[in-house]
Amino acid sequence: MSNLLLLLILLPVAAALVCYFVRSSAVRNLTVVATGAVLTLASVGLLAQGAFEPIAVGSILGISSDFLVTVLDFALLAVIFFYGLKHKSLLIQGFTLAQAVLLAWFEFISLKHEAVPALMGDQLTLVMVLVISVIGSLICIFAIPYMKEHEEHLHLKKSRQPRFFFFLVLFLGAMNGLVLSNNILWMYFFFEVTTLCSFMLIGHDATEIATKNSVRALWMNALGGLAFVIGMMLVYSETGTLNIAAILAAGPQGALMVTGVGFLCLAGFTKAAQVPFQSWLLGAMVAPTPVSALLHSSTMVKAGVFVVLRFAPAYVDTFLSTGVAVCGAFTFLACAALGIGQSNGKKILAYSTVANLGLIICCAGINTPLALTAAIMLILFHAVSKSLLFLCVGTIEQAIGSRDIEDMRGLYAKLPRTALITIIGILTMMLPPFGVLLGKWMAIEASADSNIFIVIMLAMGSAMMVVYLARWAGSMMGSREEGAKSESQALLIRLPLFIICLAAVALSVASPWIYNSLLAPWLGSAPFTVGFGSLESAHGTFVVVPLFLVLGLGLLYAVKAASGYRKTRIMPPYLGGANSSVDGTYVGPMNGDVPFSAGNMYLGELFAEGKLTPICNALAVALIVLMLGGAL
């Protein structure tokens, strides 16, 4: 077992070194593909073996693993501090130096070193490892042809791909290490590795805007690292152990310990880009699309929600738990509203991501078996659908030179395969019986037992998300012209898109059995029973398989009904009797021919980003202060 776990963590490290030092593109491509295949098989093998008790890791290359992690901790902080000096950021320098001082005092003065099993695995861990290793690997494989075209577009004289793939692949190992950690010091180390990786990847293109946004991401996540250290020290001072499994088993143990867990949740908020920290993730959109897909689906932001979920048993039935739920629900509502005013495809996905992460954190705060079920289901299905959509936007952007959804109007006529996969990805985010909506239904059902304000925020946020997702999907619909050229794509572009799209549908169909085999044993008092492909509870029933059967029949009928559309004459839109003799125009002022154009409404007066963001940030800060103050 320990060898399999170390493989999941150390193989990406070794592969990253090969990608960096062996400058052959063929070797690099083979290394990325082979690493992805091995990680996928290893994560499936770990899932098959099931949950396991905490286990110790004696030594790595003859060096004590705990000592190695301590040395690497300080080395990592030194690297981050160096970049703070390089970019003249006092915030990065200050937060990093504070971490180093507190960590040194904790490690060498306060801490009574004891043998702590380093790695553990429950169902939450197994789901996270599967998401990281499978979805993350497909994104890395997609990046091979994508980055080749990306660099050709930038006309680079010297390729930066060795460094790019070094941090991209290393990210997977760091995330696996984080979710498998049973020692808080190990978790902190991997937490900070993800901070460095995201900084390097966001600033990869080395443009002024890329550098600016990478620095902002670094100082915000350095703040999260400082909160993590403070929280870790407070928890240890009360419990006397670094063993996460023991801490969770004991539950809340006094105000000081719960406050420490509150700081750990704050660290998770920064990493998950919760309001008011969302700006670093929005700024990360300047990075190449594989980076955006990785950050949003299976690595950086999922590290944040994992920390909040991991420590949920340590703050159950406390004021902190209610505070976490309210903060998450507020982020869900705020970012759903901010997404309505956006036409940039990547920005829409960014706000949607932050909103859904807020929903997962809200579920962690509600802290009931039903809510925790919703959180894990959302983690799984959101990762699949959101990674698919980011990769689709990147593919579309390289094809048409724009990521604005207005420029994607009628995209099916030009890129039928990519447009269809994108539309399927959007539908899996917002319609029944797909998994994301199943998770939202569970979350709203769980909120009914907590707080009426949380219920209202979740209901309103869900409705707003449907507005901009449906608007985007509708814009791409159109007719395929007879004799149009078929869409051509590189195999390593087409294959990940197809696999992730198929996974989004197949996993949704299998959701009742995923719950029954993976989550029900973990929850103890399971909130659902599975009957004829449906999930049934005291609150209601979510029909899955029967709805898919109806959906399949409806799709077959629609295909048959549209089978003769190629022979149909396409008519111009009817413009209230003012059509002119020229197709696509109408009679306007002075009887002139005015071109017809269609566009979406973005309700800028109500949902302007510049107006809403300061208000949302101020309210979020107040809620976080109240959350931490209440824990005391």
Q: What does the block give as tokens for 130?
A: 């599967």
Cβ 216 vs Cβ 49: under 8 Å = no
Answer for the pair 612, 331: CB distance below 8 angstroms, yes or no. Answer: no
Give the whole-angstrom CA distance, residue 321 versus residue 315.
Answer: 6
* Per-residue model confidence (pLDDT) at position 136: 92
pLDDT of residue 247: 93
Burial class of 55 by CB neighbour count within 10 A (0 to 12, 13 to 18, 19+): middle
Collect the ranges in the chain with pLDDT lower than 70. Answer: 1, 298, 478-486, 524-525, 562-577, 581, 583-584, 631-632
> How does pLDDT run across 548-585, given as a tens digit for each residue?
888 888 888 877 776 655 555 656 666 666 777 676 67
CB distance 434 to 427 below 8 Å: yes
Q: Which residue has the tokens 């909120």?
A: 447
Strands 63-64 and 534-536, by their bridges, are unpaired
Per-residue pLDDT at 11: 94
Structure tokens at 540: 């209601």
Locate the DSSP E strands across 503-614. 529-531, 534-536, 541-543, 585-587, 593-595
Q: pTM here? A: 0.93
Maximum separation of any 2 CA atoms in the chain, in Å: 87
pLDDT of residue 539: 72
User: Cα–Cα distance between 375 and 202 in angstroms, integer?
Assistant: 27
pLDDT for 156 equals 78
> What is the rounded CA–CA span in Å between residue 396 and residue 390?
10
SS3 at position 52:
strand
Tokens of 111: 């801490």
pLDDT of residue 471: 87
Provide the token pair at 307: 């920390």
pLDDT for 567 equals 57
Q: How much is the pLDDT for 1?
A: 65
Size of the chain, expressed as the number of residues it contains: 632
Nearest to 499 by CA among 36, 7, 31: 36
59: helix, strand or coil: strand
The pLDDT score that the predictor gives to residue 62 is 73
DSSP-derived secondary structure for 185-202: HHHHHHHHHHHHHHHHHH
Dist CA 248 CA 500 (whole Å):
34
Which residues have C-beta within 8 Å of that of residue 274, sequence separation ≥ 6? 304, 327, 328, 331, 354, 357, 358, 361, 620
Element (H, E) at 55: strand 52-55
**CA dist., res. 75 & res. 213, Å (int):** 24
The predicted-structure confidence for 248-281, as pLDDT tens digits, reads as follows: 988 888 889 999 999 999 999 999 999 999 999 9
